[in-house]
Structure 1
Amino acid sequence: MFVLELTYTAPLEAVDAVIPAHVAWLDEQYASGVFLASGRKVPRDGGVILAAGEDREEIERLTATDPFVAAGVCAYRITEFLATKTAPALAGYRQQPPS
């Protein structure tokens, strides 16, 4: 499981100009089952995405396709963690620590 933290690197006007493309990209990731939750940070200086993926390299390749990245308006910080406990609705995403 991954926490993707976006930090805006450009003024909000530049970010807002790319939001329609970014939202379409988010919709694709939700449809593929990779993204589980997302939203703006408060205060609005970026966003957070909860993602399920096989490995870090896969997630790095995916985030590189975000229109925000192509437009140069954000930077990603990727944190991998083992989701060993979840809400019942996310039970399918529970992970076991390595032996």
Structure 2
Amino acid sequence: MTQDLRRFVEKTVQQIEGNRQEKDDLYEELLIHLDLSKEEFINAGLSDKEAEKKAMEHFGNETEVGGQIQQAMFPFRKEMMRALAIGSLLFHS
């Protein structure tokens, strides 16, 4: 696994607001997924470097994907935080 691939996954995981264990688990899952994708591109005839680049491109933009994972893991977090903030303001008024 190259540093480029690890940085790519780290940037994706940084978008997640989960605890350390959730982030570590996600990091490992994404590395495995990208490594498998890279192997498929290598089996299709690409060089190691080309396959890695193609795997990352195929996966998508790190920030966007991280945001989508965040939304999938915690779909109501923003709404809950907003409701708590409004409730707090109303309660203290």
TM-score by length of 1: 0.29
TM-score by length of 2: 0.30
Q: Per residue, is there more strand in 1 or in 2?
A: 1
Q: Per residue, is there more helix in 1 or in 2?
A: 2
